[in-house]
Structure 1
Amino acid sequence: MSRAARKGPLSSLRVVEFSGLGPAPLAGQLLADLGADVITVDRKAAPADPSDINRRGKRSVVVNLKTPEGIAAARALIASADVLIEGFRPGVMERLGLGPTDCSDKLIYGRMTGWGQTGPWAQTAGHDINYLALTGALHAMGSAGAPPVPPLNMVADYGGGTMFLLFGILSAVIERG
């Protein structure tokens, strides 16, 4: 669907999302719900899964990021984008030559990290259950006197990570004007 044909407050926005799990795909899905043109970069073709709501309203392109041709294709997509979303382990995009310093200063680079950009755990992958446990929130889940029960949804990833990622992206869109 062309940008002109899209409806919603973000219909002029083009987003390139590098496929992953958790908060980054949900952020892309919510941006698509608001009219953004979201192109998901997938590593391999997968059959359409109608139960995966995080793909709602998105287009998909398969790119092999382990080849020079794939990196060139990714760079071309990024060059046409307003926003990039990625949630890989720390350092992956830099090793691919697709990190923030490799991209245009005009690109809004939305990076989902577990522990932030700096600090002792910045280069460590993070997971929902870790955040819940370390903050003490996990202790409150389940029955009194029994071990905590991990939630069925991703409370920290979605409730925290996605919302802060969206807040940052949309703030940057507004600042860019």
Structure 2
Amino acid sequence: MSITSEERHAEIMDTAIKLFRKKNYHGTSMQDIAEAVGIYRGSLYHYINSKEEILYRIVERPVSKGYESLRKIQLEENLPPVEKLRQAMKYHVRYSMEHQAVVAIMLEDTKHLSEECQKQIREAQKRYEETFFNIIKEGIQKGDFKNLDPQIVTFAIFGMTNWMYRWFDVDGKLSSDEVAELFLDMILNGLLVE
């Protein structure tokens, strides 16, 4: 049974994620990826142009997809800001925990991209973070949240969540949703108007 081009591409990306986490970006060669996939190195270039392209795709896809998901939550007119923030936190934490290797690569290896690729990733990350900023700003404008600087609150949220991949245990006593609720409680205790 032959494998489709899309399936092979996905296999290459999944393999690269595992190798980048195990050996880091610089410690992984295109030969390593090809061998792990079970193809010749030359065949690898049929699916991908460079190791940098692999890294860029690993990082860019979840940020863009995440932005689309968070934007839908942000624009949901029937949800109060507290519920929007709850759903956004759950989405963010759940993704971070289900894709710990991707998050680690995003936070640790993006520096290895070209300046242009780094700029594109920073712009995508900014859009992603702005969804939280806008939800918090909406809550302040509606009188649901205290009049705190929404940028600082957004930074606090990402400061709490960005490094979870280092300590969160998927088999631990708390699920990703429970951790998201715990974080949300901490944020809301400082944010909600009493």
The structure number with the bigger radius of gyration is 2
Q: Which has the higher contact order (CA 8 A, sep 6+)?
A: 2
With normalisation by structure 1, the TM-score equals 0.25
Query: In proportion to residue count, which structure has more strand?
Result: 1
With normalisation by structure 2, the TM-score equals 0.24
